[in-house]
């Protein structure tokens, strides 16, 4: 059986962006894998990695380094609708931008859509 271990985000400032997610959601840093070009956070079910742009060369992705536009969507699940509502102002105070206020989707999830400080899309979800 396969599982998702990491979602890695290329970031201009790996320290600031990892601290944004760490402090907002209470994720724990994984100090054993910290390097000058990488930070990792344990989300409890999988991990989020933050790669410095230097990693493009390391991974032989130089020709694919165009990071403009929405390339992925992080989904952070919380335990209640109230938590979604509580996290949104915390995210905004930490530098996020609100794209879509909390709402109930057609598939009956309650969620808000935001951009992190580097412009990456993320949602805060409660699966009802």
The model's pLDDT over 35-69, given as tens digits with 9 standing for 90+, comes to 999 999 999 989 999 988 888 788 788 777 675 66
Task: Report the range of poorest mean pLDDT among 47-61, 77-91, 106-120.
Answer: 47-61
Q: Which two tokens stand for residue 37?
A: 């070009």
The predicted-structure confidence for 97-106, as pLDDT tens digits, reads as follows: 999 999 999 9
What CA–CA distances, in Å, run from 119 to 66, 74, 126? Answer: 14, 12, 22
Homologous superfamily, domain 1-67: 2,3-Dihydroxybiphenyl 1,2-Dioxygenase, domain 1 (3.10.180.10)
Top-tier CATH class for 71-127? alpha beta
C-alpha–C-alpha distance, residues 37 and 32, integer Å: 13
Q: Kindly list the domain boundaries of the chain, sorted by start residue.
A: 1-67, 71-127
Nearest of 8, 39, 17 to residue 118 by alpha carbon: 17
């Amino acid at each position: 059986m396969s599982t998702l271990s990491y979602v890695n985000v290329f970031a201009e400032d790996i320290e600031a962006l990892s601290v944004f997610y760490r402090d907002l959601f209470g994720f724990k840093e994984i100090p054993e894998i910290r390097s000058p070009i990488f930070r990792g956070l344990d989300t409890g079910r999988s991990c989020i990695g933050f790669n410095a742009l230097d990693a493009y060369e390391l991974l032989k992705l130089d020709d694919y380094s165009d990071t403009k536009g929405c390339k992925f969507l992080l989904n952070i699940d919380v335990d209640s609708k109230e938590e979604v509502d509580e996290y949104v102002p915390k995210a905004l105070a930490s530098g996020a931008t609100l794209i879509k206020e909390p709402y109930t989707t057609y598939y009956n999830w309650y969620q808000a859509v935001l951009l992190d400080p580097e412009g990456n899309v993320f949602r805060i979800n409660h699966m009802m």
